[in-house]
Structure 1
């Protein structure tokens, strides 16, 4: 019998409120997200700006909802600063994650990134030349080694509007870093970044330590490119959605993860306007889609 897919299904609070665009769900309290997420069936949450920054307070909050702390985004700047500077900057966030049992940190490179700039089109994102990429990879590896001293692995988040966006960028960041750096595979950013999610996942499956399950609306992606939208305008126009509501082959993704013995979290993360895409309904659809695929595989194996 082949190995059962040993995963947990969690969610990012961005389905309820968006840290980069506070106008999207900013009025929704954290308690609503946590109670609804738990009711739907999610086992844990990634962090957002509304969560406590004190490790004990966070642990107490999440225990009250019987939810795990999965991970949390860290805005890294290793593209422009030293490993020593980054280690000093990350300390409080690393401690928050480590003290709450997290095994992965979501590392997003924000130096020179335009993902949060509403008026800057995506084509103006930053780029490395090959030598700069190699030096960046060395710094990432050293930083990843430091995180592992606390039992937390760096999960590198390829992201629209940043240095690592395209399939070629992902190839190079993996080539120029060591095994201490893992890859956060994000299906939506893989597609939007110009790649085939299954191809990217298959190529780098050995380094994948965390998975963001985000679906896409291809027609909106075409508009975003043709009309030179910014990342935030793309989000506002509905470029992303939850699994089961877009074009990505999540059955293929889940099967590929199973075949390669992935053990970790599947995180529903889909930036949308909750006034247009009601939080509970879409979070529920994302959960049911992933749960059905995971349980379907288990049923097939048991048979």
Structure 2
């Protein structure tokens, strides 16, 4: 298998809620990723924006940037602003080793608002918004393809592309030669759908993978009490693959997910992106748990 394994700095300091892990340095984050035997990191809010500084820190630890989230704003029809920002983002991440760009639509998202309930206030896109999003993603895909990169669309709860129906629609409206899927086990599970069925359906279009598990007890409370996404994160909604802590009550069928990957031609990155409060869940310990579990299941 040609899979490479990475880790997201959101496990140390949360991009959507920087107070979680705000005291931790990016140097600690990168060093602990390397200690846990990962070869790549996703981008993060605390990482230096200066190329030379970040490249030096990565090289010292034999790491590369494998992907960095890019926020598009097509649902608010800010197409030209999005294209311009994408060009700069693409150039920066390519120079640090990335060959994919994970794009999340943030025009009308509620996932970053701690006071907004995730499910009762989830945005519902109009046909016009969905059409513009698809056309915008195709254009980003054309620009990425010219540079030797792939656009991987990151469906995400709270963004308007949350349900299985919404995911299927945006995938059907976009060109499979230009727009790939960023498959995320956690977000499809939180939305209430089967991660195995989704990856079976789209494995030939998957260009990047995020792995995290979901604690059922926290998810049930989030839904029943109508909380925000960030409430869930703080309460421990997510954890890593392989978490065997008693009472974790995890949801993802890992044998099913990894079985699909093993029987496919997937040759990209698998990235642990299980954002938690680092004061409650030591990032290095959980990164090691996930890496050992994936080696056991995937043999690499």
TM norm structure 1: 0.93
Deviations 1:222-248 (A, max 9, x none): 111110000000111111000012221
Distance 1:167 1:208 in 2: 16
Map of 2:281 onto structure 1: 277
Quick one: distance in 2 between partners of 1:18 and 1:71? 16
**Which residue pairs with 1:145 in the alignment?**
142
1:167 corresponds to 2:167? no
- Is 1:71 the counterpart of 2:74? The answer is no
2:237 is aligned, of 217, 233, 239, to: 239
Query: Hey, what does 2:246 align to over in structure 1?
Result: none
1:1-303 paired onto structure 2 within 5 Å: 5-122=1-118, 123-179=120-176, 180-245=178-243, 246-295=250-299
Gaps of 5+ in 2: 244-249
Tell whether the 8 Å contact from 1:125 to 1:162 is kept in structure 2 after alignment.
yes
Change (3 A) 1:82 1:25: closer
- Separation in 2, partners of 1:24, 1:135: 34
Question: What is the Cα deviation at residue 131 of structure 1?
Answer: 4.5
Kept after mapping to 2: 8 A contact 1:216/1:240: yes
Partner of 1:301: none
CA deviations 1:166-214 (Å, max 9, x no partner) are 1111101100000201100000001001110000111111211000001
**Structure 1, residues 114-166: CA drift from partner, whole Å, max 9, x if none?**
00111100121211133432332122111211122222211111111111011
SS at 1:121's partner residue?
coil
The whole-number CA distance in structure 2 between the counterparts of 1:124 and 1:189 is 16
Higher mean displacement: 128-137 or 223-232: 128-137
For 2:238 and 2:26, locate their aligned partners in 1 and report how far apart those are by CA, in whole Å. Answer: 22
Q: SS at the partner of 1:183?
A: strand
Partner Cα distance (1:235, 1:82) in 2: 29
Q: Which sits farther off after the overlay, 44-53 or 229-238?
A: 44-53
Question: Which stretch of the first structure deviates more once superposed, 128-137 or 227-236?
Answer: 128-137
Q: Which structure 1 residue ranges, 5 or more long, are not aligned?
A: 299-303
8 Å CA contact 2:27, 2:57 repeated in 1:
no
- Runs of 4+ displaced beyond 4 Å: none
> How many residue pairs get matched?
292
CA–CA separation in structure 2 for the residues paired with 1:279 and 1:79: 34
Name the SS for the 2:101 alignment partner: strand
Query: 2:6 touches 2:42 (CA, 8 Å); kept in 1?
Result: yes
TM-score, length-scaled by structure 2: 0.94
